[in-house]
Structure 1
């Protein structure tokens, strides 16, 4: 925070929403807090209120993202079924991003809660590295570890079908792809 007067809640949420809609990258709670002169914790509450108003905001490992459209023009979205232990997570994600894919999310079927999903939104090795670091620092459990036999789904976004097919071949060679 920069010492300026605190912005009223509704005005702050409008600014947060406008900022996220214009952003070309995820924005962290800290960045949004500095912009609006409030703490990151206040931003978390504001994001929750915006989501309650059906604003398509997702929390990724890099920050908050406004989802303009499910898939950009000319993009292909597919779901891949994978299975591996936690030790292969970085390898799996690197294979996908190395083939030009964006890994949008991970989904599992939990025996008690049913379908669970989490946003990942990584598209290069640096973002994968940061995602893995955040999971380790938080001592978090990978969602795939909560699934029966580690089976999980990834929604991926690509420019071409060929990128997806090549990534599938590489995942299969690593013993990760379930067909």
Structure 2
């Protein structure tokens, strides 16, 4: 099989995958070494193919991601673990926001989609430049997370629950406010 044909097959595999595909699995399917896979990924990215690397393998970025808001609670020491959980599933942490009883909604863009992004974010917080929004609400906060499928978001939710990060919504928390704002943005 030529290199071009192999890369076309690789794109097809990644487009149809429901979860990340490891370099090893790609190498076995395409009967080449993992090094060839790494080189092919680089070539495909140079051709503007949007391939995402996660610790579980490669994903092809899809056009219309699924979106979910998670309310979470954790310590500063657990923050990196929580953020890595999302990106390890190939998801993107779009933002962090809090519902403050006095100031209403306070939101910041994050755009984290790799462990490298998470590490840089954590390093900035540790340097004392700023603090996380969660600090204004005793650790409770929300993340808008996008992923390629509802199944991935379900897996993330299950893992957040297992690790004790998922927090229960209270009656006074108008989570619908964010849905309405998102719909307004999308209609523009």
Output the TM-score relative to the length of structure 1: 0.56
Equivalent residue runs for 1:96-107 within 5 Å:
96-107=86-97
1:172 equivalent in structure 2: 161
Larger Rg: 2
Q: CA deviation at 1:77?
A: 1.2
1:157 equivalent in structure 2: 146
CA RMSD, Structure 1 to Structure 2 (Å)? 1.5
Q: Does 1:136 align with 2:136?
A: no
Equivalent residue runs for 1:16-35 within 5 Å:
none
1:126 equivalent in structure 2: 116
Runs of 4+ in 1 over 4 A off after TM superposition: none
* 3-state SS of paired residue (1:146): helix
Q: Does 1:115 align with 2:105?
A: yes
Conserved? CA contact 1:82–1:151, under 8 Å: yes
Q: How many Å separate the matches in 2 of 1:135 and 1:104?
A: 17
Output the TM-score relative to the length of structure 2: 0.54
* 3-state SS of paired residue (2:144): strand
1:79 equivalent in structure 2: 69
What residue ranges of structure 2 are gaps of 5+ in the alignment? 1-61, 169-188
Deviation by residue 1:112-144 (Cα, 9 ceiling, x = unmatched): 322101111101111100111112223421101
